[in-house]
Amino acid sequence: MLAIIKHLLPRHSEAIFTLSKSERNTFFKELIDSSALKSEFYFLLVVSIFITMAGLLKNSVILIIGGMLVAPLLSPILSISLAIVIKNRKVAWRAIRIFLITTILALIASMLIGSLFSFKTSEMEMIQKFSINGFDIFIAALAGAAASLTWAKKNLSNLAGVAITVTLLPPLVTAGLGLAALDYYIFVDAIKTYIFNVSGIIFGSVIIFIILKFQEARKRVIAEIAEVDKED
């Protein structure tokens, strides 16, 4: 698979998809550390939920984008991709556990906070815009690839632009609001959007991780995770 991917890439792209040992180790440390369930992780999650919910309730795109920039949802998803690439069950279980805890907490928090407000889902324009099609999944895969590469290659850019390319927190918060309003259809549509976007990100980032040869750094990833978990 790696040979096929490399064959499809232009020759001058080789430098872009090459990491030094230092860059690779820094990426592993930052990704694993940022996806750990620490107090600052929970704080950012709650803050991002409040901002995103305010944007949905007020039909404000600016607030929704602000919430997406703050949300720490990307790192747990990329951790799942890394676990897939290095083919380690313990790393995979850790990543999936953190992802599920984050998702469930965000959903419950959104439902509880939403129950404090009086609103009608039929009057919320931003809620009505969640839909799923092949193009959306393709965009999610591209976002996953871009997020992986820009995080690993510090000279390319930052993650701000990538964070607002694919919707993660808005559909999750919308699902929580659907539960608060007892609106089953809104809940299901939002959860489907969230799952498909997550799947697309995982697919795109797995491809980039394979190209970057992260599968050859299995021992380093495991050691880094052990170190971070020890600190917790």
Structure confidence at residue 108 (pLDDT): 92
Q: Is residue 70 domain-resident? A: yes
Structure confidence at residue 12 (pLDDT): 47
Q: Is residue 3 domain-resident? A: no
Structure confidence at residue 104 (pLDDT): 92
- Residue with token string 């009086």: 118
Note down the domain range covering 154. Answer: 20-227
Contacts 24+ apart (CB under 8 A), 178-187: 178/121, 179/107, 179/110, 179/111, 179/114, 180/110, 180/111, 180/112, 180/114, 180/115, 181/114, 181/119, 181/120, 181/121, 183/121, 186/121, 186/127
Q: Is residue 232 domain-resident? A: no
Q: Is residue 186 domain-resident? A: yes
Q: Is residue 190 domain-resident? A: yes
Structure confidence at residue 20 (pLDDT): 66
Q: Is residue 7 domain-resident? A: no
User: What pTM was estimated for this model as a whole?
Assistant: 0.80
Tell me the pLDDT of the chain (232 aa) as tens digits: 545 544 555 554 455 666 667 777 777 777 777 777 778 888 888 888 888 888 888 878 788 877 777 777 888 888 898 889 888 788 888 889 889 998 998 899 889 988 887 777 666 666 656 666 667 778 888 878 887 787 777 655 555 455 555 578 888 888 988 888 888 888 888 898 888 889 888 998 899 888 888 877 777 777 767 666 565 5
Structure confidence at residue 115 (pLDDT): 85
The total of structural domains in the chain comes to 1
How many CB atoms are located within 10 Å of the residue 76 CB? 25
Q: Is residue 12 domain-resident? A: no
Q: Is residue 30 domain-resident? A: yes
Structure confidence at residue 125 (pLDDT): 64
